[in-house]
Amino acid sequence: MKKTALTLLTFAILALLTVPLSLKAQYKSVAMGVKLAPDLGWLKVEEENYETEGIVPGLNWGLITDFYFAENYSFSTGFSVSFHNGKISYPDIQSGTIGVLNRKYRLKYLDIPLMVKMKTNDIGKFRIYGQIGLQPGVRLSSKAKDTFRAASPVFTDVKDWHNIDKQTTLFRASMVVGAGIEYPIDKSTALVAGINFINGLTDVLKGDNAVDASVSHRAVPNAFELTLGIIF
């Protein structure tokens, strides 16, 4: 299902990029801006005895660039530096003792959105937009904070933030679906507010479980983000 969605979106984006330039009319062909987007993220796990331990706030910021091929339709790209956080727990072994490891992740990515954006005509002073597309990304850093609890003998071991790049994948891909509003403040500048759902398509962890080597570490990052920005 995920591979099918990825293929369809890729073909849609490539088709839009081949639209002849002659279709352009009297409207701004390129718009650029900046964004700040706090988010609520989590890591989805499906392996037995692996549990998602709640939602963790994160943040991303970056550049927005819209290339218009019709008055209300654009190919939207740019870049964003994304801080995706999450928590999971799973069986582990430390000091020769089996227990449960609660791990909080702090994952940093450089993401490149490849989106199709569609807007309405003016509705009063506002315009409503919707967008859908893919967002490949490359890992910049990954850190973890661990709390290990053993049952017999009973003890707890806490390890502060440490680098886990060898335990995370270098690349990730996500599907993005979102909507929002634009509020013009002059002829060339508009404020933007929207909400996106970031649906992870790829696993971002690697390695095998220390208790059961037949089980691989797997987790897919998902998030809801609130985008606040300004476009020129």
What pLDDT does 3 receive? 54
Is 27 a domain residue? no
Considering only the C-alpha atoms of the chain, give the largest distance between any 2 of them, rounded to a whole number of Å: 74
What pLDDT does 152 receive? 87
Instruction: Decide: 198 and 223 in contact? Cβ < 8 Å.
Output: yes
Q: What is the DSSP annotation of 54-119? A: --EEEEEEEEEEEEEEETTEEEEEEEEEEEEEEEEEEEEEETTEEEEEEEEEEEEEEE--EEEEEE
Q: What is the DSSP annotation of 4-56? A: HHHHHHHHHHHHHHTS-GGG--SS-SEEEEEEEEEEEEEEE--STT-EE---E
CATH number (domain holding residue 199) = 2.40.160.20
Cis peptide before 153 (omega within 30 of 0): yes
Enumerate residues 6+ apart whose C-beta is below 8 A from 106. 83, 85, 142, 143, 144, 145, 161
Is 25 a domain residue? no
Q: Provide the 3-class DSSP secondary structure of residue 166.
A: helix
- Whole-model pTM: value is 0.86
Is 211 a domain residue? yes
What pLDDT does 215 receive? 96
What pLDDT does 22 receive? 41
Residue tagged 């209300």 (tokens):
72
Give the span between the Cα atoms of 82 and 200, in whole angstroms: 13
Stretches in the chain below the pLDDT threshold 70: 1-27
Is 138 a domain residue? yes
What pLDDT does 160 receive? 98
Give the span between the Cα atoms of 77 and 177, in whole angstroms: 14
Is 143 a domain residue? yes
CB atoms near residue 227 (< 10 Å): 19
Give the span between the Cα atoms of 110 and 61, in whole angstroms: 10
The count of domains in the chain is 1
What pLDDT does 188 receive? 86
Provide φ and ψ at 152, rounded to 5°. -150, 110
- What residue numbers bound the domain in which 198 lies? 2-18+33-231
Kindly report, residue by residue over 153-187, the tens digit of the pLDDT.
999 999 999 999 999 999 999 999 999 999 999 98
What pLDDT does 86 receive? 97
Is 87 a domain residue? yes
Instruction: Decide: 43 and 220 in contact? Cβ < 8 Å.
Output: yes
Residue 126 DSSP code: B
Is 190 a domain residue? yes
Is 49 a domain residue? yes
